[in-house]
């Protein structure tokens, strides 16, 4: 794809969260996102990323990365040059997905023709219950109990009580629990046994990345999914003795291009696949919906957690999210 007369711009947008979004390491009431636009030949492609402090990112640093990379590459900007010149993360994601959108707009060919093996369909997403005290989490789960799949944030304290409270409040929902690195190895056997007793479907990132060796030496009565421990395709081969599944997020892989490679390699190695997200708008979710077409678990509920989404937006019906229309992305 030619990118003659290429111009790139990036800016921050803020979206209020409906209430508070809390996990083991932080709470926030606003989603701060970075939007990137690449224009060339009379067409523009747009994308969104979410800087994440856990990975040393900020809004300012991500915008600076986007601007410096675009300046350095100029008309030579491409998916492969981005993969070579920019480390995985939010900035590369925004640039990569904006290029996907630009290619779709300039050629008149939907992104799903390259990203998907068949016509994309709606997918079922989890809905997140934020970390709080067990009673409050039970109330939130009860309010969401008609949703078929819940993702429950845990934090290392009162987690067994929280799991019991949520399971009792939403008896017909499948439940994923996500500790965000907050568990300790000595408590793993008890926590795993209780999760199995409650028929928890999946446990996400129980131990800190880089300190998860204990997962290799114990049974997994509930499948365990890597999140903070896995970013790109190159991480996968080292994780087979510790994890049963991997969470692929565009803001970790650095865009849809690497995420598609990672998805294919994960399947080749026998991992289950979750496609996840940071808390962002429909623009951030749009390329991930294409990636999620045959995922075992989908967690693309970012817009459902916001007080307002951008316009145009993805179409959500309950827990089902439809593929993006071209006026949004791709």
- The CATH number of whichever domain residue 37 belongs to comes to 3.30.390.10
Residues of the domain holding 225: 117-321
Please, which residues bridge with residue 298 across strands? 275
Tell me the two tokens of residue 152.
């429950």
Tell me the two tokens of residue 316.
């959500």
Tell me the two tokens of residue 14.
């803020």
Cis omega (within 30 of 0) on the bond before 312?
A: yes
- Residue 327, domain member (yes or no): no
| Residues 93 and 128 grouped into a single domain | no
| Residues 46 and 131 grouped into a single domain | no
pLDDT digits (tens, 9 = 90+) for 128-166: 999 999 999 999 999 999 999 999 999 999 999 999 999
Distance CA(309)–CA(150), nearest Å, equals 21
When pLDDT is averaged across residues 90-118 and rounded to a whole number, the result is 96
Distance CA(85)–CA(235), nearest Å, equals 19
For the chain, the average pLDDT equals 96
Residue (of 71, 69, 62) closest to 13 by Cα position: 62
- Residue 286, domain member (yes or no): yes
Separation in Å, CA 264 to CA 59, 204, 261? 31, 20, 5
pLDDT digits (tens, 9 = 90+) for 9-57: 999 999 999 999 999 988 999 999 999 999 999 999 999 999 999 999 9
Give me the phi and psi of 48, to 5 degrees please. -130, 145
Looking up tokens 């817009």, which residue turns up?
A: 303
Tell me the two tokens of residue 129.
């219950």
DSSP letter at 153 equals E
pLDDT value at position 2? 46
- Is the pLDDT at 1 greater than 90? The verdict is no
Separation in Å, CA 123 to CA 70, 291, 294? 34, 11, 9
When pLDDT is averaged across residues 207-224 and rounded to a whole number, the result is 96
- Residue 248, domain member (yes or no): yes
| Residues 184 and 75 grouped into a single domain | no
When pLDDT is averaged across residues 289-300 and rounded to a whole number, the result is 98
> Which of left, alpha, beta for 168 (phi over 0: left; psi -120 to 50: alpha)?
alpha
Residue (of 186, 143, 179) closest to 163 by Cα position: 179
| Residues 73 and 138 grouped into a single domain | no
Separation in Å, CA 8 to CA 60, 139, 207, 259? 16, 45, 39, 23
| Residues 89 and 110 grouped into a single domain | yes
| CATH classification of the domain holding 186 | 3.20.20.120
Contact between 268 and 92 (Cβ < 8 Å): no
Rg, C-alpha atoms of the chain: 19
DSSP letter at 325 equals P
| Residues 124 and 213 grouped into a single domain | yes
Among residues 92, 114, 136, the one where a domain terminates is 114
Cα dihedral across residues 16, 286, 65, 44: positive or negative = negative
Give me the phi and psi of 44, to 5 degrees please. -135, 140
How many domains, the chain? 2
Contact between 92 and 66 (Cβ < 8 Å): no
pLDDT digits (tens, 9 = 90+) for 277-290: 999 999 999 999 99
| Residues 80 and 185 grouped into a single domain | no
DSSP letter at 191 equals H
Separation in Å, CA 216 to CA 32, 220, 221, 224? 36, 9, 13, 11
| Residues 94 and 144 grouped into a single domain | no
Contact between 313 and 328 (Cβ < 8 Å): yes
Residue (of 49, 45, 53) closest to 66 by Cα position: 49
Residue (of 241, 260, 242, 303) closest to 97 by Cα position: 260
Q: For residue 266, what pLDDT band results from cuts at 50, 70 and 90?
A: very high
Q: For residue 4, what pLDDT band results from cuts at 50, 70 and 90?
A: low
pLDDT value at position 296? 98
| Residues 110 and 124 grouped into a single domain | no
Distance CA(220)–CA(209), nearest Å, equals 18
DSSP letter at 123 equals E
- Is the pLDDT at 324 greater than 90? The verdict is yes
- Residue 16, domain member (yes or no): yes
């Amino acid at each position: 794809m030619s990118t003659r007369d290429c111009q790139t711009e990036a800016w921050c947008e803020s979206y209020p969260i409906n209430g508070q979004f809390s996990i083991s390491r932080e709470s926030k009431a606003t989603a701060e996102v970075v939007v990137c636009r690449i224009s060339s030949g009379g067409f523009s492609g747009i994308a969104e990323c979410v800087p994440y402090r856990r990975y040393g990112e900020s809004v300012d640093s991500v915008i600076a990365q986007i601007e410096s990379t675009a300046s350095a590459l100029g008309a030579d900007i491409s998916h492969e040059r981005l993969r070579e010149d920019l480390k995985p993360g939010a900035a590369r994601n925004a640039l990569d997905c904006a290029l996907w959108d630009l290619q779709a707009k300039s050629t008149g060919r939907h992104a799903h023709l390259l990203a998907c093996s068949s016509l994309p369909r709606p997918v079922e997403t989890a809905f997140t219950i934020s970390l709080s005290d067990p009673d409050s989490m039970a109330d939130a789960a009860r309010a969401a109990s008609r949703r078929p799949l819940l993702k429950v944030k845990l934090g290392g304290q009162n987690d067994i009580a929280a799991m019991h409270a949520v399971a009792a409040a939403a008896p017909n929902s499948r439940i994923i629990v996500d500790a965000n690195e907050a568990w300790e190895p000595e408590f793993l056997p008890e926590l795993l046994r209780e999760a199995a007793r409650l028929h928890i479907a999946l446990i996400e990132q129980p131990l800190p990345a880089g300190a998860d060796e204990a997962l290799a030496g114990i049974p997994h009565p509930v499948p365990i999914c890597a999140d903070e421990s896995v970013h790109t395709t190159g991480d996968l081969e080292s994780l087979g003795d510790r994890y049963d599944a991997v969470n692929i997020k565009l803001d970790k892989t650095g865009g849809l291009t690497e995420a598609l490679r990672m998805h294919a390699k994960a399947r080749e190695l026998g991992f289950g696949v979750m496609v996840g997200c940071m808390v962002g708008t429909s623009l951030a979710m749009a390329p991930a919906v294409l990636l999620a077409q045959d995922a075992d678990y989908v967690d693309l509920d970012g817009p459902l957690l916001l007080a307002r989404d951008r316009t145009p937006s993805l179409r959500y019906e309950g827990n089902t999210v439809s593929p993006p229309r071209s006026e949004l992305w791709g």
